[in-house]
Amino acid sequence: MDKAMAGIINVTGYAGIECARLLSSHPQVTLATVTGRSAAGHRLADVFPHLADSNLTIEEKLGEVDIVLVAMPHKESAREVLSLIEKGIKVVDLSADFRLKDETEYNEWYGVSHPAPQLLSQAVYGLTELYRNEIAGAQLVANPGCYPTGAILAMAPAVKQGLIKEYIVVDSKSGVSGAGRSLNIKTHYAEANEDTTAYALEGHRHLPEIIQELGLLQPDKKMRITFVPHLVPMTRGILSTCYAPLAGKITAQELKQIYSDFYSEEPFVKVTDTPPHTKHTRGSNLCLIHPTVDGRTGMMVVISCIDNLIKGAAGQAVQNMNLMLGLPETAGLEAVSVYP
């Protein structure tokens, strides 16, 4: 069988170039064409020496493809996606544009009018573990944000099971690559190194995604979700520590069983016996989850970690792409974490 032909729009950000790295060794898909703006006309291998063996040139416009991974900023992405969908091309959109079902929510959180609201109903939220079947049949998949990926996978089994009383706190610690490749004083080396800080206390744009998806798992329950992201001085990785007062009594062992059952068939989610390390996910598509109970207080504590650029972005996009193309879900994603 011929390999499928894939393209990447805006390959020059960290999510885009990570898609290129993963596709460069994908056994059943060929990366045929990539676009960029400032770097258009340059060889991909010159701008990104780790892809030295690539023969691609960064183009202004995409060539012919079966599927496209779109790694544009929000709003700009929707316009590109609309045009691709109209041509009948399959799309995994890594931006935020098609993640929220509710157009007004989008308009409020992103401060712009949604450029293509007519696509919202057909877009499938691309958290593979929750929407595997829908993704396989979709033309448009909205790849989740990095924080929501870790947070929703951490909380879904407990929320679905109805274990949560009301409050949920998601305290996330992200490596600095999560802030992207655009220059900013906050991600200037001497500022971010040897520093830890919280940000977006007034409400991070990934919060409505988390609310939407956990809400869909328990439509009748009111949940109060607080999400605080932090930057920690490392390049890759997100560790999310999630806290929720339990509705009833449950032991750590019972909780672990619920999680193990929920994820028993998942190739990329592992429930661990000990607190996981971001290092053990770096370079892989894994999500590690450790659920436990603070018996003194009746508080559930669940910790998840992922590589923000892989399971939190490019890897999950490839995972979704595989499903959309009818390929094995793990194709091109077998790499083991690079430890130490």
Q: Kindly identify the residues of this chain, within the stretch 228-287, that bind a copy of itself according to CB under 8 A.
A: 228, 230, 232-237, 239, 241, 243, 245, 270, 272, 275-280, 282-284, 286
Owner of token pair 């520093």: 195
Extract the tokens encoding 250.
């449950």
* Block residue for tokens 């924080």: 147
Nearest-5° Cα angle at 294, 289 to 297: 145
19 is catalytic: no
Q: Is 21 in the site for a copy of itself (CB under 8 A)?
A: yes
* CA–CA distance, 170 with 205 (Å, rounded to integer): 14
x/- mask, a copy of itself, residues 41-60, rule CB under 8 A, reads -------xxxxxx-------
What part of residues 317-336 is at the interface with a copy of itself (CB under 8 A)? 334-336
Of the pair 124, 285, the CB lying nearest a copy of itself is at 285
Subset of residues 210 to 229 that bind a copy of itself, contact rule: CB under 8 A: 224-226, 228
Give the residue carrying structure tokens 């049949």: 137
- Which residues contact residue 78 at a Cβ distance below 8 angstroms, ignoring those fewer than 6 apart? 95, 97, 98, 114, 115, 116, 119
The answer to whether 300 touches 293, Cβ cutoff 8 Å, is yes
| Catalytic hit among 19, 146, 242, 287 | 146
On whether the CB atoms of residues 314 and 236 are closer than 8 A, the answer is: no
Q: Helix, strand, or coil here: 44? A: helix
Q: CA 143 to CA 313: how far, in whole Å?
A: 7
Tokens in use for 269? 């989610």
Q: Which is nearer to a copy of itself, 124 or 271 (CB)?
A: 271
Question: 290, 279, 190, 205: which is closest to 240 by C-alpha?
Answer: 290
Residue 30 sits in the site that holds a copy of itself (CB under 8 A): no
Closer Cβ to a copy of itself, 123 or 332, answer by number = 332
Q: How far is the CB of 203 from a copy of itself (least distance, A)?
A: 7
- Region 177-206 residues binding a copy of itself, contact defined as CB under 8 A: 177, 181, 183-185, 187-199, 201, 203
Residues 125-184 binding a copy of itself (CB under 8 A) are 167, 169, 171, 173, 175-177, 181, 183-184
Residue 82 binds a copy of itself (CB under 8 A): no
Would you state the structure tokens that stand for residue 39, as one six-digit string? Answer: 């770097």
In angstroms, rounded to a whole number, what is the distance separating the alpha carbons of residues 309 and 16? 9
Give yes or no for residue 296 binding a copy of itself (CB under 8 A): yes
Question: CA 22, 84, 130, 164: dihedral to nearest 10 degrees?
Answer: 110
Cβ at position 186, least distance to a copy of itself in Å: 9
Minimum separation from the CB atom of position 89 to a copy of itself (A): 26
3-state secondary structure of 291: strand
2: Cβ–Cβ under 8 A, 6 or more apart, which residues?
A: none
Toward a copy of itself, which CB reaches closer, 108 or 134?
108
Shortest Å distance, C-beta 232 to a copy of itself = 4
**Rule CB under 8 A: which of 88-117 touch a copy of itself?**
none
Kindly indicate which of the ranges 55-63, 83-91, 126-134, 296-304 contains the residues binding a copy of itself, using the contact rule CB under 8 A: 296-304
State the catalytic residues.
146
